[in-house]
Structure 1
């Protein structure tokens, strides 16, 4: 069987290229913030209370929930109210970034 493929090259205007760069930058920031939030939560619970260094460990309250996909989506909704960069992007695009991060954490092998 012969598979025929086509390749199309986008010819973006300067305005479109600028908008795409902005959107990708905002998505990168959301991903990095969500990743840091999860890593900090894990780091705050990996050592015994009597052995943690108060200087080098990031301490999160014990009753703070794990920053799961649903929790981070709720926080994203709240952040979109105050941050114009987040408000300029489609919610589904940002939630898809959080979903991919959540799937990466589900597949991890610790």
Structure 2
């Protein structure tokens, strides 16, 4: 619903800018104020609280899911602007195959359930346990065939040491006649393991 409403705003804005300067169509004309700016992603995201007042059903959906739907629309719009074809299309009921929950305050996954905002606890079959030290960053719920799957993005803070280079650098080349040749001038003959075993 939010996706289609946002797309309708974009289409209306585009259609209102197609009118010829010297005449109007006899059938229909989109008349929007000339000062009305393009409904970009930031404006549409900021208008979501007002849209929830106009459409109370939107209040039943987690805010982050609505925001992700609008972001998905604008990724499609940017693709259309860059490539020149593939104008975003309206989505029918049930056409969205996934929902993205982009952030969580606490770990939503237990061994038996996943807790999603405004949906609650959902029983799951945990494929493998989340390793110690990892935090769930995102959850994408996907519908495939007759089942729903949850794809988890996890993150761990790892301190990677940045050692100072030390020691003697050396270059190594591997060849056919000489198995190994180093930049120091060391040559290693091929080991020929098979011939030795024979």
* SS of alignment partner, residue 21 of structure 2: coil
The equivalences for 1:22-41 within 5 A come to 29-41=1-13
RMSD: 1.6
Q: Structure 1 residues 45, 56: closer, same or farther in 2, change over 3 A? A: same
Q: Figure out how many residues of one structure are paired with residues of the other and give that number.
A: 82
Q: Is the CA contact 2:12–2:30 (under 8 Å) kept in the aligned structure 1?
A: yes
Report the counterpart of residue 77 of structure 1 in structure 2.
49
Return the TM-score normalized by structure 2: 0.39
1:51 to 23, 26, 33: 23
Larger relative contact order, structure 1 or 2 (CA cutoff 8 Å, min sep 6): 1
As a proportion of its length, which structure holds more helix? Answer: 1
CA apart distance, 1:66 = 0.6
CA apart distance, 1:83 = 3.0
CA apart distance, 1:49 = 2.6
Does 1:99 find its partner at 2:99? no
CA distance in 1, matches of 2:26, 2:75: 32
Structure 2: gaps spanning 5 or more residues: 86-198
Return the TM-score normalized by structure 1: 0.67
Q: Structure 1 residues 84, 32: closer, same or farther in 2, change over 3 A? A: same
Structure 1: gaps spanning 5 or more residues: 1-28
Report the counterpart of residue 22 of structure 1 in structure 2.
none
Q: Structure 1 residues 33, 54: closer, same or farther in 2, change over 3 A? A: farther
- Structure showing greater radius of gyration is 2
